[in-house]
Structure 1
Amino acid sequence: MNDSARPSFRSLDRDECMAILGRNSVGRIAYTSGNRVQIEPLSYVQHGAWLYGRTSNGSKLAATSTHWAPVAFEVDEVEAVFQWRSVVVHGGFYTLVDDGRADHDAEWWQGVQLLRGLIPDTFSGDDPVGFRTVLFRMAVQDVTGREAVPGRVPVLAVAAA
């Protein structure tokens, strides 16, 4: 096989990773629950160095922590087997609460407003996933990414008849 026909792989820089996080809205979060690693898909919104999302009360993810827990998060963009981008984030998971404290309420309302950019009826009477009552954010502390680019397909010369 000609080397130009082979796919190439490269690391993405932080700005490229953040751009991928910003243009997507569904990823997978990995966390520990008991002695198992759990992975769940979820919708999210990226804002600065934070990812905001929701989960259900009583879920394993919601039970992870009310203050801080280490988690990983992944987002992929896949066009073909050798044409994709993948981003992995490591950071802290924080449950946001609306408990009357001004600093908590401001964080909670910021999360709600950001999520309303994705699902306008978030936390309203018309919320399509109203059972997801636990609001959280994840700090984008460490982010890495990879990209695969397909190789060039050689052009075959066609013999004139």
Structure 2
Amino acid sequence: MLGKLNEKQIEDLLKKQVTGRLGCHADGITYVVPINYFYRDPYIFAHSAKGRKIDMMRKNPKVCFQVDDIQSVFKWQSVIAWGKYEEITDFDEKQQAMQGLIHRIMPLVDKPAEHPHHAIAEKESEIDTKIEVIVYKITLSKKSGRFENS
């Protein structure tokens, strides 16, 4: 059976997952990339080093975000959401967002010390400070969800 997710199911899936795909578009190019995130309605919080994704979102902050839970070819849920990219520059908000990411991601990391380039490590001294970490949020304005359960 194919169907639409209701609002609660959409919220639950966004909260449950930790990796989604971010779609951005600028200068005639569309770019879709996986990101680690955490969700607190209506925001997707994430971080990144400077690169293509950040450059594109700075040019065009309108983005699309997709997350799914695929148990089999005929048993899955998927949410697509649209929103606006915004870099977090306020120190306190940036700290809170990074703490949220750390709390969400760390339980899923086998060896945190091996990932200092993500600005996530067991000890702050292990974080690679040569890389500028850009913390951002996507303010979601529209969400849609579908499922198949055969």
8 Å Cα contact 2:87-2:137 kept in structure 1: yes
- Select 2:92's aligned residue among 94, 98, 106: 106
Shift of 1:132: 6.5
One-letter identity of the residue aligned with 2:68:
D
| 1:62 and 2:54 aligned | yes
Structure with greater proportional helix content: 2
Indicate the residue corresponding to 1:147 in structure 2.
147
One-letter identity of the residue aligned with 2:27:
G
Shift of 1:94: 0.7
TM-score w.r.t. length of structure 2? 0.80
Indicate the residue corresponding to 1:72 in structure 2.
64
Shift of 1:122: 2.7
Identical positions, percent: 17
One-letter identity of the residue aligned with 1:44:
Y
Query: Residue deviations 1:68-116, cap 9 Å, x none?
Result: 711000001111111000000100111112xxxxxx2232122112112
List runs of 5+ in structure 1 lacking aligned partners.
Answer: 1-7, 98-103, 151-161
Cα distance in 1 between the residues matched to 2:57 and 2:23: 14
Backbone CA RMSD of aligned residues? 2.4
For the residue of structure 2 that corresponds to 1:125, the secondary structure is helix
Shift of 1:131: 4.1
**CA 1:78/1:65 → structure 2, altered by over 3 Å: closer, same or farther?**
closer
Cα distance in 2 between the residues matched to 1:87 and 1:93: 18
For the residue of structure 1 that corresponds to 2:104, the secondary structure is coil
Shift of 1:60: 1.4
Cα distance in 2 between the residues matched to 1:119 and 1:79: 21
For the residue of structure 1 that corresponds to 2:126, the secondary structure is coil
For the residue of structure 2 that corresponds to 1:141, the secondary structure is strand
One-letter identity of the residue aligned with 2:91:
D
- Select 1:52's aligned residue among 30, 34, 45: 45
Larger radius of gyration: 1
8 Å Cα contact 1:54-1:132 kept in structure 2: no
8 Å Cα contact 2:25-2:57 kept in structure 1: no
Cα distance in 2 between the residues matched to 1:31 and 1:14: 24
List runs of 5+ in structure 2 lacking aligned partners.
Answer: 107-118
Moved beyond 6 Å, runs of 4+ = none
Indicate the residue corresponding to 1:158 in structure 2.
none
Indicate the residue corresponding to 2:25 in structure 1.
32
Shift of 1:15: 1.6
One-letter identity of the residue aligned with 1:46:
Y
What number of residue pairs does the alignment pair up? Answer: 136
